[in-house]
Amino acid sequence: MSRGKFIVIEGGEGAGKGECVTFLARVLRDRGKKVITTREPGGSSFAEEIRNLIFSEAARVHHPDPLTQLNLFAAARIEHTIQTIRPALKKGRIVLCDRGFPSTFAYQIAGEDRRDLEPHFRFIDQMSRGATWDPSKNTWSGALVPDLTVFLDVDPEVGLERADRRTTGNHFDEKELAFHRRVRDGYYEILSVVRHVIIDANQPMETVRKEALQLVSAFLRSDA
C-alpha cells in the first residue's frame, strides 16, 4: 500500500483553520478518499492530556517560560507523530492536521521574541518529529515532514476580531497585537523550509475554503 499524505493547515488566531479542515475532510471523503482529521497540540489520547496542561488555568497564571512551552508542544507532537500520524500514513490515509511544527517556531520563537531559543527549537523540533541522530554523519534524519502545508494568512487585526467572536479560546488569544504580528512574520520564515501554499485568509471564509480545496486537490492530483 502506498503511503498516505500529510497535509497541515496553519495560520494565526482567527484564520479559519478548523473550519477549513472540516470542510476539506468532508469534500475529500465525498470523493471517496480515506481521511483522518487531527490537531496540534493534541491528536492522540496522551497528547490531548498535554494540551489540557498547556491551556490550563495553571499555565495562564504561571506563564511558563517559552522554553517550557516549546518542550510541552514538542512532547505532545512526539505522541501525536508516533500514535496517530505515522500509523495513519502507513495505512494510506490522508491526514489533515490543524497546526504542526511551524506553529512552534511562529509562536514560541518569533511571537515570544525568543531568538535565543532557535538552536533549542532546531534540536527539539527534529526529535519531536521522530528523527533519529546519525552520529557517523553528525546529522538528524527521518523527521516527519508535511507533504503540503496550507498557510491561511490573516492580518492579525482581522484574525483577532474573528477570534473575539468565538466562544472558545485560550490564553494565547490574549497576547498583544505585536505578538501576533511577529507570529505572522515567523510563519513566513519557517514556511520557506517546507512545501507550502499561501491563501489570503482575510477573504470571506467561503472563498478561503474554496481556494484551499482547489490547492489541495491540485496537490493530490500532482502527487498521485
Binding region for ligand TMP (CB under 6 A): 40-41, 73, 99, 103-104, 107-108, 170, 172
Q: How far is CA 125 from CA 23, 47, 180, in A?
A: 29, 16, 21
Closer to ligand TMP at the Cβ: 41 or 146? 41
Q: How far is 104 from 133, CA to CA, in rounded Å?
A: 21
Q: How far is CA 37 from CA 22, 24, 44, 85, 102, in A?
A: 8, 10, 11, 10, 18
Closer to ligand TMP at the Cβ: 50 or 94? 50
Closer to ligand TMP at the Cβ: 99 or 209? 99
Least distance to ligand TMP from the beta carbon of 70, Å? 8
- Identify the three-state secondary structure at position 4: coil
Least distance to ligand TMP from the beta carbon of 111, Å? 7
Least distance to ligand TMP from the beta carbon of 61, Å? 17
Amino acid at 200: D
C-alpha cell at position 63 = 506563564
Least distance to ligand TMP from the beta carbon of 102, Å? 8
Closer to ligand TMP at the Cβ: 93 or 107? 107
Q: Count Cβ atoms within 10 A of the Cβ of residue 25 and give its class: 0-12 exposed, 13-18 middle, 19 or more buried.
A: middle
